[in-house]
Chains A and B, each alone.
Chain A
Amino acid sequence: MEVNVVCTFCGSVCDDGLFDVEKFRSKRLCKLGSSKFSKKERIKSPMIDGKEVSYEEAIAKAAEILVNAKRPLLYGWASTVNEAIRLGIILTEKVRGVYDQCASVCHAPSILAVIEEGLPAGTLGCIKNRADVVVFWGCNPMEAHPRHGMRYSISAKGLLVKDRKARKVIVVDVRETRTARQADMFVQVKPGYDYLVFSALRAIIAGNADVVPDEVGGVSKDKLIELAETMKNAKYGAVFYGLGLTQSRGRDRNVENAIKLIQLLNRYTRWVILPMRGHYNVTGAGEVPAWECGYQYAIDFSRGYPRFYPNEFSAVEVLKRGDCDAALIIASDPVAHFPKEAVKKLKEIPVIQIDPFPNMTTLVANVVIPSAIYGLEAEGTAYRMDVIPIRVKKVIDTEYWSDEKILEELIKKVDELMG
């Protein structure tokens, strides 16, 4: 039997997948999506210190750790659904911990930029219909979001822009990526100099090319002028940007300057800008806390109310500063993805893990609680990279508890312990 599935791998959240339940095989999805919908090793059972226990026992132990901590860190949330994330916020508020999510090592600088300048964006559908110029800046969808180009950007067939021929594709990056090989124009920037390139483009577009030096960030002035003209002459342009801006020198300021460029371009024509969000619901991991407590990430509840200081409450900083004494890690693997200085702290404190798969965090976790896979074994709401809500589906049965159920029970236990 073939059923429709919504892919729960990357931020593109392709909703046209097919899944053969008997054969346990997907169709139409990319390499990443196919891996998501294939059989893999699972965490077999809840565990405490390596010993198999029941869900109830593991949850009771987890509750005890959280309640006894002076400041627990509750981190992850990018590969789970909004319903679970909401419970996560409620749990964090109860145990007065720190909520942080995968964006803090991904697109969190984008949030800082949005705080400075806002986000002039459009949905992926709007971009596919209208964008005659698409710029990929510091992102490489061919590896990170493989169907993005086909569905929404490079070769998508839209209402006004009918096909690839009608669209100009530009890649700006520090290296010639697979995406760059598909582009009509490739602009190579010196690592760490995107910020200056945006300032130069703004000056050129506003008619101040005279002050711009002959070369900026490794890009010749002629090339900059060509890029500026192309952008200005677009009918409707879209910039997609990635970790090339947020994880390199300049971080949030790179994005802020990109947004300022887009603001300026809208005085002449239409342009939008969108971050290429990584995990399928990393967007929800920020949106849900925003409506529940006002901020997207790096939220501390130690005083009984939410506060946002990313310089100290983002997970990497909390760990590096030694500012937590327990951690709950859900739907994420910080031991694999954090700098080693932060991993060191995770090895020292009690760690609770909730995840479908064994990973490096499992290796340091004291309490391990296996969970169902959303999109396959459990349903819920996720947000695509353009903040469009899509319901991910349950297509097969499982004995594993969903994150939502685990968190519900955990909250009950915490309530009991706290009286």
Chain B
Amino acid sequence: MLILKPKVDFVVCVEAEITPELATKDLEEIKKFKVYYGKEEVELEKLFEITKQGNEKKIVLEGDFSKVKWIGYRMEDGEIVVKGNVGSHCGSCMKGGRIVVEGNADDWLGAEMSGGEIIVKGNAANLVGCPYHGDLTGMTGGKILIEGNAGNYVGERMNGGEIEIKGNAGDFIGTEMRNGKIVIHGSCGFVGGDMRGGEILIGGDFEIVPSFKRTDEGWVGDVNVKGEGIIKKL
């Protein structure tokens, strides 16, 4: 297990593409792992206190990581526990393993994720499980659980996997979604634009696009793309 703690207040954001894999390396190698600090490429030890305890594929991030981005990018297995907040792109393109964020997560949480599990105990910002700009497919597998609220753009162009939000969410839920499941226990804004398939369940209020058919099962659409997505009350 590897424990990281920021040594300084970051003047600008840090980009640290660390995955649990790093915890299995020897300490010297870990210290020299390269991260970006503005335009500088620096060694991990310059910015973080590093403690290694055994070889478990697990990283614990202690302190404020809200200015640290790309944590768990492309991770395949193991575990990352963020004790506080985390910066954007956390768990993006993740294939497996588990990330637990005890605070809030920033934008692009689990973007284009294909497997594994992300749990956020606080809120998540925007673009949860979305495709990066220009890409045709967002999340394809795995699960994202947000115990608080989420912002705009959730599960856009989603093609598999599940996103569950215990609180409320913003606008554009499941836009152009093709497959998979989104569950929102609270309320949200615009839902289902150009949805082709998949399922969205909502506990509270929501604003559906006016191109869905009302059926016994729920709302089916978006008819504008001959979609067969289903939106139901939870």
Contacts and interface: CB of A to CB of B under 8 A. Distances in A.
A266 B71 CA distance: 44
Interface residues of A, number: 38
Contact of A196 (B12, B194, B207): B207
Given A211-B210, A211-B212, A321 B224 contact: no
Contacts of A199: 193, 209-211, 222, 224
Given A208-B211, A321-B13, A253 B223 contact: no
A53 interface: no
Given A70-B39, A202-B224, A321-B67, A196 B127 contact: no
A312 B107 contact: yes
A312 B127 CA distance: 12
Given A95-B39, A253-B172, A311-B108, A203 B223 contact: yes
Nearest to A67: B39
B39 A308 contact: no
Given A202-B224, A203-B224, A311-B88, A69 B134 contact: no
Give the size category of B's interface with A. 35 or more
A206 B210 CA distance: 13
B224 A323 contact: no
Contacts of A202: 211, 224
Interface in A190-245: 195-196, 199-200, 202-203, 206, 208, 211-213, 216
A260 B194 CA distance: 10
Interface in A247-275: 249-250, 253, 257, 260
Interface of B is mostly: loop
Given A311-B107, A325-B38, A208 B224 contact: yes
Given A211-B211, A303-B36, A311 B193 contact: no
A290 interface: no
Contacts of B207: 196
B128 to A, nearest CB: 12
A70 B37 contact: yes
A115 B211 CA distance: 23
B175 interface: yes
Nearest to A111: B133
Nearest to B10: A322
Nearest to A69: B38
Contacts of B15: 302-303
A195 B13 contact: no
Interface in B194-233: 194, 207, 209-214, 221-224
Given A250-B190, A253-B175, A211 B223 contact: yes
Contacts of A257: 193
B193 to A, nearest CB: 6
A208 B11 CA distance: 54
B171 A250 contact: yes
Given A260-B194, A321-B67, A323-B12, A196 B209 contact: yes
B88 A70 contact: no
Interface string B72-88: 00000000000000001
Q: Kindly name the residue among B36, B37, B88, B210 whose own CB sees the greatest number of chain A CB atoms within 10 A.
A: B210
A211 B133 contact: no
Nearest to B193: A199
B211 A311 contact: no
B185 to A, nearest CB: 23
B179 interface: no
Nearest to B69: A312
A379 to B, nearest CB: 34
A250 B193 CA distance: 12
A70 B210 contact: no
Contacts of A260: 194, 224
A212 B224 CA distance: 11
A302 B224 contact: no
B126 interface: yes
Nearest to A325: B11
Given A199-B209, A321-B67, A71 B190 contact: no
Given A323-B12, A325-B12, A302 B36 contact: yes
B133 A115 contact: yes
28 contacts: A70-B12, A70-B38, A71-B13, A115-B133, A195-B193, A195-B209, A200-B211, A203-B211, A206-B224, A208-B211, A208-B223, A212-B210, A249-B171, A253-B171, A253-B175, A253-B190, A257-B193, A302-B36, A303-B36, A309-B108, A309-B133, A311-B88, A311-B126, A311-B127, A321-B67, A323-B13, A325-B12, A325-B38
Interface of B: 11-13, 15, 36-41, 67, 69, 88, 107-108, 126-127, 133-134, 171-172, 175, 189-190, 193-194, 207, 209-214, 221-224
Q: Which 7 A-B pairs have CB atoms at the shortest separation, nearest pair first?
A: A70-B38, A96-B39, A71-B38, A203-B211, A199-B209, A200-B210, A71-B12
Given A95-B39, A253-B171, 14 more contacts: A70-B40, A71-B12, A196-B207, A199-B210, A199-B211, A202-B211, A203-B210, A211-B210, A253-B175, A260-B224, A302-B39, A303-B41, A309-B108, A311-B126
